[in-house]
Structure 1
Amino acid sequence: MFWKSKPLWGKKPRLKSSYDAVIIGGGLHGLATAYYLAKEHGIKDVAIIEKRYIGFGGAGRNTAIVRANQRTQYNVPLYKVALDLWPVLTKELDFNLMFNNCGNLNLMHSEAAMKAARMTIATAQFHGVESHLIDAKEAKELVPALNISEDITFPIHGAMFHPPGGIVRHDAVVWGLAKGCARHGVQIHQQTEATAIHTEGGKITGVDTSRGRIATKQVLVSAGGYSAGIINRMLGIKLPISVLTIQAMVTQPLKPILNHVVSSGAYHCYANQTLKGEIATGAHMDQWPNYTTHNTAHYIKHQAESLSDWLPCLRGVKFMRIWGGLADMTPDMAPIMDGNDPIDGFYMDCGWGYFGFKSCSAAGKYMAEYMATGNCPDMLKPFNLRRYENHELMGETAALVSYTPDN
């Protein structure tokens, strides 16, 4: 017998003609913002508009790593809140998010890198985030499979060890937040495309969708790699964002060999072992802007060479699956979270690059506060769009640009 399936979070809702708030993008940031709007601020008349299905974009195309060992004084507190929220959300949502704080090990391959790590660790510790500098032998004690010999491309000098970091099951977070949203009255509209955002007198008035027009006074665009295009096309606001493909893959299942997340900036490679035993691995983004999620032989070759150099036990292991996602990169590799500028009632949450997954819980919490009160929380103030106009780029990794947003 054929059974019609229905979403895990309930029946398909009927699209209403008006909502208190509309969120464009059914990814983790949109879901988290809607959840906190309803739960903490009592704003339950919210519609999430998703062109395809929830979790289609970056939410379902990542390697599920979470950490709070960023570089700058503005980023570290935000990611710490996000990291601390995972066990809280697991309990609140009554849904197993499979959070495993197995620890994050960032390999260093030169004395210069070790010195830079000391600065990063000092920033983390100042903000109450546990992080330690260890030598190569200590790193091998944590991960016995590491090759710490001198005969590899980039010999390991030491590592930055961040015990609270780890992994969370990304699709479980999507489903858990969706259930939480529905339980609090938020409506999720999949297969519904936002086609226009309407304004009048410098204020948001509504959103056109493929299923009809919605009247609303608040709109949040949180559509990952598609956000900049949506905002530019619908509101004429140009953002300093480049969209690039980032690829990842998994190996065949193996017995447990990797009990921490391990990454290397020199190799542009990171890896962790999933609950199924696969080695999930990713690298830096492709070097040319594009909107594809295509995979490349060059990337497969890079991952194989990198992993087999510093994890030689993986030589001969087969890659089983590869995928691509979109990274919306800003010049300083920090997000844009802003609102009511230049349009009252318009909010944006974008530019996360490859940090979007690990930040979604905190970003949703503070964006919800921003939309509910109209006042920007202190945590989000450094991430405003005007920082590019004022040449106040963050030091996460900053490039010198001259940028003036359209008014």
Structure 2
Amino acid sequence: MLKRSTQPKRLWRSAPLKPAYDAVVIGGGLHGLAAAYFLASRHGMQDVAVIEKRYIGYGGAGRNTAIVRANQRTSENVPLYKEALDMWPRLTRELDFNLMFYNCGNLNLAHSEAALKAMRLQTATAQFHGVDSRLLTPAECKALIPALDITDRPKYPIFGGMFHPPGGIVRHDAVVWGLAKGASARGVHIHQDTAVTGIEVQRGKVAAVQTSRGRIATPRVLNAAGAYAAALADHLLDIRLPISVLTIQAMVTQPLKPLLDHVISSGGYHIYANQTLKGEIATGAHMDRWPNYTTGTSAYYIKHQAEALTDLLPCLQGVKFMRTWAGLADMTPDMAPIMSGNDPVQGYYQDCGWGYFGFKSCAAAGKYMAQYMTTGTCPEILAPFDPGRFAAHRLMGETAALVNYSADN
């Protein structure tokens, strides 16, 4: 009798490194895999290689709190995030893979009249673009999350909130696996444990990529290396990008009975949290205040999270944190990404500078970067994200997404 194999079936296939590809994607994270998938599925470009120094999902793709939303602050950003949010159910069907999308809604709290005024503008922008967002009173916030303390006891009392029903959570690992599965099924080669060591340019055009496993001739390269994208651009092509790399820390509590039916976030406390399917409260903090490439966690932020969560949700007092982790955010001065191509090198494209918004946008960004790489023409929706805006001092207003930190926070 033949024994059934105990080895799990791989979702994507291994392939030898070819000497030439029509396109090479640097980075096996969400944006790189999404671009590769759409190059193959929408544009028939199956001869594509994804080059990942470690393993797919190693970076920010596997180190986030899985929140998705489309309630950004500017007219340039909202359409992109809205399309990305709308794509999750369609991608689940298209990839034939459960991405575990749960649109439980996102409640963002205001702790002052000024914050509430800013939310009115943000809500108006969202509604103008067809995004469901609405202002709530403190009582309406408590109706959504009964555990909230809406008295004047908390350090930052709740003045109201903005509820965004289409927002929610998606299983980030599932997105990595699903995109890898879909890309591989359409001919894309995924090469893990492979480092990019150089980009050859001939007569102003991309000619090849040098890797730790050999040379690859290609006319197109997409730099989607996340927190390492700026360093790669500088080192390989002498392209300087205004990106700072900052650590973001997150943690989860012990499993609890259901008490948090929606994603909750607070600019005053600078926390965000949701309850996972396992019952854990997954919560994230503000970025570290100094550029670095470390993924270590600190007692400072564990203390910050514990104090902030229990101030807003007193029922969590005494609950234990079970584990912590940290990821890297590639942050631009205006908290908006850089998506561009063919400048200063023909055939070189870049998708980076997402800060802590990269997961929410990956599906739409990958779709439009694939279009850009295929046609050589920038899609209209990506035009505002050209890095030339920094030299022209045309920074976007998305910096308002950072609520001012108080001195004692």
Q: TM-score, normalised by structure 2?
A: 0.96
The verdict on how the C-alpha distance between 1:339 and 1:4 changes in structure 2, with shifts beyond 3 A counting, is farther
Query: Secondary structure at the residue paired with 1:397?
Result: helix
1:331/1:398 contact within 8 Å kept:
no
Q: Which amino acid in 2 is paired with 1:158? A: G
Deviation of residue 281 (structure 1)? 0.1
Query: Secondary structure at the residue paired with 1:23?
Result: strand
What is the root-mean-square deviation in Å for CA atoms of aligned residues? Answer: 1.4
Matches within 5 A, 1:22-61: 22-61=24-63
1:8/1:175 contact within 8 Å kept:
no
1:337 to 332, 336, 339: 339
Query: Secondary structure at the residue paired with 1:280?
Result: strand
Query: Secondary structure at the residue paired with 2:31?
Result: helix
Q: Which amino acid in 1 is paired with 2:114? A: A
Q: How far, CA to CA, are the matches of 1:296 and 1:143 in structure 2?
A: 29
Residue 92 (structure 1) aligns with: 94
Q: Which amino acid in 1 is paired with 2:48? A: V
Residue 405 (structure 1) aligns with: none
Matches within 5 A, 1:55-94: 55-94=57-96
2:248/2:288 contact within 8 Å kept:
yes
1:248 to 247, 250, 254: 250
Q: How far, CA to CA, are the matches of 2:117 and 2:175 in structure 1?
A: 36
Matches within 5 A, 1:147-296: 147-296=149-298
Q: How far, CA to CA, are the matches of 2:227 and 2:173 in structure 1?
A: 18
1:248/1:281 contact within 8 Å kept:
yes
Q: Which amino acid in 2 is paired with 1:77? A: P
- Count of aligned pairs: 399
Q: How far, CA to CA, are the matches of 1:30 and 1:398 in structure 2?
A: 28
Deviation of residue 98 (structure 1)? 0.3
Deviation of residue 12 (structure 1)? 1.5
Deviation of residue 283 (structure 1)? 1.2
Q: Which amino acid in 2 is paired with 1:36? A: F
Residue 378 (structure 1) aligns with: 380
Deviation of residue 368 (structure 1)? 0.4
Q: How far, CA to CA, are the matches of 1:366 and 1:228 in structure 2?
A: 21
Query: Secondary structure at the residue paired with 1:396?
Result: helix
Residue 326 (structure 1) aligns with: 328
Residue 310 (structure 1) aligns with: 312
Query: Secondary structure at the residue paired with 2:104?
Result: coil
Q: Which amino acid in 2 is paired with 1:125? A: Q
- The ranges of structure 1 where at least 4 consecutive aligned residues each deviate by more than 2 angstroms after the TM superposition are 3-11
1:6/1:12 contact within 8 Å kept:
no
Q: How far, CA to CA, are the matches of 2:99 and 2:192 in structure 1?
A: 22
Deviation of residue 9 (structure 1)? 2.2
Q: Which whole-Å deviations, capped at 9, do the CAs of 1:101-152 have from their partners, x for residues lacking one?
A: 0000000001111111000000000000000000100000000010111011
Q: How far, CA to CA, are the matches of 1:8 and 1:84 in structure 2?
A: 28
Q: TM-score, normalised by structure 1?
A: 0.96
Q: Which amino acid in 2 is paired with 1:311? A: L
Q: Which whole-Å deviations, capped at 9, do the CAs of 1:190-221 have from their partners, x for residues lacking one?
A: 00111111101110000011110000000000
Do structure 1's residue 16 and structure 2's residue 18 form an aligned pair?
A: yes
Q: How far, CA to CA, are the matches of 1:5 and 1:320 in structure 2?
A: 30
2:12/2:180 contact within 8 Å kept:
no
Deviation of residue 398 (structure 1)? 7.0
Q: Which amino acid in 2 is paired with 1:57? A: G
Deviation of residue 6 (structure 1)? 7.0
Deviation of residue 5 (structure 1)? 5.5
Residue 297 (structure 1) aligns with: 299
Residue 403 (structure 1) aligns with: none
1:144 to 146, 149, 162: 146
Q: How far, CA to CA, are the matches of 2:390 and 2:112 in structure 1?
A: 32
